[in-house]
Structure 1
Amino acid sequence: MRVVLIHGVATDSRVWAATIAALGPSVAVCCPDRPQSGDMDTEIAALAPLCEGAFVVGVSGGATLGLELAARGVEFAGALLHEPAAGSLAPRLLDEVAAAFRSDGVAGFGRALYGPSWIPELTSASTETVAGELAMFRSFEPRPVGPLAPRITLTVGERSAPARHRSVQDLAAALGTEWRVLPGVGHAVHLQAPHQLAAELATTTR
């Protein structure tokens, strides 16, 4: 099985180090540093060739990009997408992190979105980069994913805010995907419980 791990905003491929270790040597992992361009077409163009035929795992913005890949017909083998943006289904979902970014820049954004498990060393993104990414994901609108819907599982952390739970449930209902709650974690499952994420992936791909 080939797995592609897609990172979110204010992180890069380093955020997946513990997850890669938990997956073990039997799993072929592709862990790209995506462009972080603030332009959806650019991001998808970079990711699509890597994700074709692979199993896609994304958290936060990476999960949102997974949905966009599906909407554009990229034929991945399956996807596990944790707490993506939900567009007009949850229009205020990112208000809190946007406010933290305005008041305290990249560090404020990272702490507000990912919690205390996030550290500045997980990103080299500038203020301008995060601003562009945040604007891109705030303007995201989920679109039908067609025949890929049965291959997609959305997840939400048990400890995530009620708004996150509602957004994942509403997204799953709108897109026709499966969804489930991951016990004991919040938004940053890849930082809080990488072994649990690896186990969830193993269950999903059986």
Structure 2
Amino acid sequence: MPPPRVLLVHGAATTARVWDRLVPLLTGLDVVAATRPSTGDLRRELDALGDAAGALVVGVSGGATLGLALAATDVPLAGAVLHEPAVGSLVPGLLDHVVEGWRTGGVAGFGAALYGPTWRIDDAPDDHAAVGRDLAMFRAFEPAAPGAGQGPVLVTVGGRSPRPRHTAAAELHRRYGVAVRVLPGCGHYVQHDAPHALAAVVREMARVAAG
């Protein structure tokens, strides 16, 4: 069986350009980088990923949150690699520092708080209001178990990420049985700061999905 299509889903304060360091490391795979509309409505955001059926969904941050939501639907996925999604009430306060960054510094404050010092304002979409819409949507998100028959779902967390991110991943494993893996040497902005680590996991999951 050939490997599945790889669907890359970006998060808040980024665009499909955020995958520019990762895509060259996935040569030989059929890779599609989605451009999200950032409507602020979860259902509309999932509907916008219309080509997700049969794909290996790869998301970071808000993109991971959407991947987690998609896995809970009846859209059949080959699998998912989800780096540090939001987890709602499983870990209250997980996004408090991001909210504060947004409140005090707008898009620049949001990006710095969420992704760290390597994020730049040029990484954000031209429509800065999209960041606020995304933030509201992801703050309201509540996770659910992956649907029956979905491919394997792997949640990753950066070895350098703060403790609440590790707690969030552990809670997803405890509540819903998703696999968890720590990626050493990185934090939240893995596709930018440690693309080789993420690429290795994506290739591994693509091989698993291909049987």
Which of 11, 14, 18 aligns to 1:15? It is: 18
Scaled by the length of structure 2, the TM-score of the pair is: 0.93
CA distance in structure 2 between the partners assigned to 1:56 and 1:148 by the alignment? 15
Residues 169, 93 of structure 1: alpha-carbon distance in 2 compared, 3 angstrom cutoff: same
Alignment of 1:35 with 2:55, yes or no, is no
Question: One-letter code of the match for 2:81?
Answer: L
Contact 1:79 1:152 in 2 (8 A): yes
Alignment of 1:194 with 2:210, yes or no, is no
Mapping for residues 76-95 of structure 1, pairs under 5 Å: 76-95=77-96
Question: One-letter code of the match for 2:6?
Answer: V
Q: What stretches of structure 2 of length at least 5 have no aligned partner? A: none
What secondary structure sits across from 2:174 in the alignment?
helix
What secondary structure sits across from 1:9 in the alignment?
coil
- Cα deviation 1:106-155 (Å, max 9, x = unaligned): 01101110111211111224342211110100000011213256610001
Mapping for residues 56-135 of structure 1, pairs under 5 Å: 56-135=57-136
CA distance in structure 1 between the partners assigned to 2:126 and 2:133 by the alignment? 11
Question: One-letter code of the match for 2:115?
Answer: Y
Contact 1:19 1:190 in 2 (8 A): yes
CA distance in structure 2 between the partners assigned to 1:32 and 1:70 by the alignment? 17
- Cα deviation 1:81-120 (Å, max 9, x = unaligned): 0000011101210000110011000011011101112111
Kindly state the Cα deviation for residue 205 of structure 1 after the two structures are TM-superposed: 2.6
- Cα deviation 1:147-180 (Å, max 9, x = unaligned): 2566100010000000000001101211111111
CA distance in structure 2 between the partners assigned to 1:144 and 1:3 by the alignment? 22
CA distance in structure 2 between the partners assigned to 1:70 and 1:200 by the alignment? 18
- Cα deviation 1:30-55 (Å, max 9, x = unaligned): 101111111101101101x2110011
Contact 1:106 1:127 in 2 (8 A): yes
Between the aligned residues of both structures, percent identity stands at 49
Aligned length, in residue pairs = 204
CA distance in structure 2 between the partners assigned to 1:123 and 1:46 by the alignment? 19
- Aligned equivalent of 1:46: 48
Contact 1:149 1:177 in 2 (8 A): no
What secondary structure sits across from 1:65 in the alignment?
helix
CA distance in structure 2 between the partners assigned to 1:69 and 1:128 by the alignment? 24
CA distance in structure 2 between the partners assigned to 1:30 and 1:22 by the alignment? 13
CA distance in structure 2 between the partners assigned to 1:183 and 1:165 by the alignment? 12
Kindly state the Cα deviation for residue 8 of structure 1 after the two structures are TM-superposed: 0.2
Contact 1:77 1:151 in 2 (8 A): yes
What secondary structure sits across from 2:148 in the alignment?
helix
